[in-house]
Structure 1
Amino acid sequence: MFGLIWVVAIIAIGALANHYEKERGRIEAFMFITVVILTLIFFTVLAIASKLEVFWWQ
């Protein structure tokens, strides 16, 4: 399931970054991609950790 979400997210990120690069420039598009991918990694790790029940509130 995470793999499918990542594939769809990477395709969407690519399309958005291409549009963003045309509007703002290459550096800002790179920063945009970096922030989005780091956010995806954070929520993926959070979801996996939640499934493994490693948080104190579970």
Structure 2
Amino acid sequence: MLYWAIVFFIVALVAAVFGFGGIASASAGIAQILFFIFVVLFIVALVARAIQGRGR
């Protein structure tokens, strides 16, 4: 998921350089959403791993 966030961020940068403002803002928005989903899932995985590790 982090890979796709980076891909959309690069697409947004390239679109911004060439002057496509609508595409750039849409790609940046998608990249931001994917990044936050990645962070939330990462934190959930860390917490789940910590809880699972304590039981053993």
Assess same fold via TM > 0.5: yes
Q: TM-score, normalised by structure 1?
A: 0.56
Q: Is there any run of 5+ residues in structure 2 with no aligned partner, and where?
A: 16-21
1:14 and 2:43 equivalent?
no
Residue 44 of structure 1, CA deviation: 0.2
Structure of greater relative contact order (alpha carbons < 8 Å, 6+ residues apart): 2
1:26 and 2:24 equivalent?
yes
Percent of counterpart pairs with the same letter? Answer: 2
- Alpha-carbon distance in structure 1 between the residues aligned to 2:43 and 2:33: 15
Compare the two structures and name the one with the higher helix fraction: 2
Q: How many residues align?
A: 45
- Say what the alpha-carbon RMSD is for the aligned residues: 2.9
- Alpha-carbon distance in structure 1 between the residues aligned to 2:42 and 2:5: 16
Q: TM-score, normalised by structure 2?
A: 0.58
Residue 16 of structure 1, CA deviation: 4.4
**Which residue, out of 34, 37, 41, partners 2:39?**
41
